Amino acid sequence: MQKTPHIEVDQEGIIAKTVLLPGDPLRAKFIAENYLSDVIQFNKVRNMFGYTGTYKGKRVSVMGSGMGMPSIGIYSYELIHFYGVKNLIRVGSCGSMQEHVKVRDVVIGLSASTNSNYASQYQLSGTFAPTASWELVKKAVTVAEQKNIPVKVGNILSSDIFYNADTEAWKKWAAMGVLAVEMEAAALYMNAAKAGVNALCILTVSDSLVSHEETTSEEREKSFTQMMEIALELAE
C-alpha cells in the first residue's frame, strides 16, 4: 500500500471500513475528540484531518472531505479504491428549501439531485439518479427512531453553486419537492455506486431559504450532534 496524493497512510488497516465524512476538518476533529476512544490521527495533508478510533467497541474513522463535489469526489474515491472503505457517511449542513424543514432539523438524503456535470465521466446515455444505499438509509432511520430524533427523508440537491447569480433558482427545485441544498452528496453517491459500496448523507439544517433563519459557524462545527450520533451507530 502506498500513500495517495491526499491521504498519508501507507499501512493496511489504519482506516476503518466505515468512515464519516464531514466537510469541515474541524468537525472531524470534534467528532474524534468527543465520541471516539483510542484515537489515532492518520491524516493531516492539506489540514484535511483524519482520525480512527472506536465507538461502542466498533472501529470507525472520520475525515474531512472539503467543500464541493470535486473535493469529496477525490477523498471518497481514494478511501474506496486505495483503502478499502465500504461505508461512507457524509455528515454536514444544508439549507432548507421547504417550510416544514426547520433550522436544526435532521435530513437524510434518500437521493441527491444535482446541477453538476459530475456524471458525464460515466458516459451514460441518459440522466443518472444518485441514490443512497438502502441498507444505510434503513439503519439510519431505525437509529433515529430509537433515539427519538425526528428526521426528514427525501431528495436533496447537491449544488456546484453557493452564491447563485439566479437568486430564485432554488424555488424551481423546491417546487419538485427537494428538501434541502448542500454541495457534496451526489458525487459521493456516484462514486459509491460505481464501486459497489455503501454511501449515505445525513445533514443538519443550518439555514432556511424560506424563513432566512440561520445558525453560526461555531454551532455548525460543534452543536449539530444528533446527525453525528446517528452516523456513528452505523459503524460495522
By the 8 A CB rule, do 199 and 234 touch? no
Is residue 5 included in any domain, yes or no? no
CA 187/CA 159 separation, integer angstroms:
10
> What share of the chain has pLDDT > 90, as a percent?
95
For residue 67, the model assigns a pLDDT of: 98
pLDDT at 162: 97
Residue whose grid cell is 497512510: 9
Q: Parallel, antiparallel, or unpaired: how do β-strands 87-96 and 180-182 relate?
A: antiparallel
Average pLDDT of the residues in 4-14:
95
How does pLDDT run across 48-84, given as a tens digit for each residue? 999 999 999 999 999 999 999 999 999 999 999 999 9
pLDDT for 218 beyond 90: no
- 165-208 pLDDT, tens digit each: 999 999 999 999 999 999 999 999 999 999 999 999 999 999 99
Phi, psi of 51 (to 5 degrees): -140, 150
Buried b (16+ CB within 10 A) or exposed e, 91-128: bbbbbbbbeebebebbbbbbbbbbebebbeeeeeeeeb
The CA distances from residue 130 to 11, 111, 156, in Å, are: 32, 6, 10
What's residue 227's pLDDT?
Answer: 97
Reply yes or no on whether the pLDDT at 150 is more than 80. yes
pTM over 0.95: yes
Domain presence at residue 227: yes
Q: So what's the pLDDT on residue 223?
A: 76
- pLDDT for the residue 159: 98
* CATH number of the domain encompassing residue 195: 3.40.50.1580
> Cα separation of 107 and 87, whole Å?
18
Q: Catalytic residue numbers? A: 207
Residue 8 lies in a domain: no
181: nearest Cα among 198, 190, 169: 169
Domain presence at residue 10: no
Q: Domains in the chain: how many in total?
A: 1
The answer to whether 136 and 158 are in contact (CB under 8 A) is no
**Domain extent at residue 81:** 18-232
